[in-house]
């Protein structure tokens, strides 16, 4: 009888051991599974952060590309059209030999013919209304064209630079969001430094622009002898203006600050001017559409000279309102 009891007790003990092993094995497997899930979650988070950083890099490249255009253009606003043409030709001549020949041919064709201008006379000007050129290009929604679309909301240089700063602030917010989620510090810091460096450069260009605009504003507001042309209204948002001169002009005296468009706050609108030698005319075009309902001022300074060296008798002002 005792042997039987011992045998039963032994079985219970063995069963107890077996039961004990089974109880502790389950949590160990669960820990392994949880660890695997955590690793997979971290992997997905890392992949998501990598994609975010790639997206940020693309956005910064697009912002930087647009900014470099203004960084180059704004300080050269006072450069003559002749200087800008030579600079463009020199840049093109470094690309291919064929470009040199082509540029020389274009230069010969573009050079205005010599005309006799009486020394007592000065070339006169006439503002000619032309049909606007409408740009129907559609945006496809990618990041680069989103930046371009936003810049088109601001015809003035100042508005464009502020729009780029706003874009950079948006990138800073994205980087801060990634930082709060524990993204790699080195990866984030490199992009944070890039954003801050771009902000500094934009502020430098804004300072240069402020100095240029101050000079232009003073010239326009203090010019009481300017000839006032009849106001034009309504005009199209993509209106081009052509200024007709009686004689050929010396393009070394013509710059993007000699014929300007100012908005209602007297800020410079981004424009491009081109000389048409065959008709002794200058065309001025806004780089972006004008704002509907706004009034702008077209100003033609009297520092422009004829080919014989005579300046305009008077500067010219004309306002126009966009429909």
- At residue 212, the pLDDT reads 96
What's the pTM value of the predicted model, to 2 decimals? 0.70
10 Å CB burial of residue 23 (0-12, 13-18, 19+) is exposed
Judged against a pLDDT cut of 70, whether residue 270 lies above it is answered with: yes
| pLDDT (tens digit per residue) in 99-137 | 333 333 222 323 333 333 333 334 444 444 333 333 333
**pLDDT at residue number 5:** 45
Average pLDDT of the residues of the chain: 78
Summarised one tens digit per residue, pLDDT across range 53-87 is: 999 999 999 999 999 999 999 999 999 998 988 88
Q: What residues contact residue 239 under an 8 Å CB cut-off, 6+ apart? A: 132, 286, 290, 320, 322
């Amino acid at each position: 009888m005792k042997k039987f009891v011992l045998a039963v007790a032994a079985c219970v003990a063995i069963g107890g051991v077996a039961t004990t092993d089974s109880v502790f094995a389950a949590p160990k497997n669960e820990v392994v599974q949880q660890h695997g899930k955590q690793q997979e979650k971290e992997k997905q988070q890392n992949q998501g952060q990598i994609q975010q950083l790639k997206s940020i890099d693309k956005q910064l490249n697009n912002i930087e590309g647009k900014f470099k255009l203004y960084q180059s253009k704004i300080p050269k606003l006072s450069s003559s059209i002749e200087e800008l043409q030579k600079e463009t030709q020199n840049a093109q001549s470094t690309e291919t030999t064929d470009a040199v020949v082509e540029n020389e041919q274009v230069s010969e064709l573009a050079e205005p013919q010599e005309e006799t201008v009486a020394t007592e006379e000065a070339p006169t000007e006439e503002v000619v209304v032309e049909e606007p050129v409408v740009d129907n290009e559609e945006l496809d929604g990618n990041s680069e064209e989103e930046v371009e679309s936003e810049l088109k909301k601001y015809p003035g240089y100042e508005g464009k630079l502020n729009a780029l700063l706003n874009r950079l602030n948006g990138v800073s917010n994205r980087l801060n969001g990634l930082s709060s989620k524990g993204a790699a510090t080195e990866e984030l810091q490199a992009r944070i430094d890039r954003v801050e460096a771009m902000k500094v450069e934009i502020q430098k260009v804004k300072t240069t622009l402020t100095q240029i605009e101050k000079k232009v504003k003073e010239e326009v507001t203090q010019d009481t002898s300017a000839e006032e042309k009849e106001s034009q209204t309504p005009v199209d948002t993509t209106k081009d203006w052509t200024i007709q001169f009686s004689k050929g002009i010396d393009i070394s005296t013509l710059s993007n600050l000699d014929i300007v468009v100012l908005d209602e706050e007297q800020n410079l609108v981004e424009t491009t001017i081109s000389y048409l030698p065959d008709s002794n005319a200058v065309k001025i075009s806004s780089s972006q559409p004008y704002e509907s309902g706004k009034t702008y001022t077209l100003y033609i300074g009297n520092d422009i000279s004829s080919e014989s060296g005579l300046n305009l008798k008077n500067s010219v002002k004309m306002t126009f309102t966009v429909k």
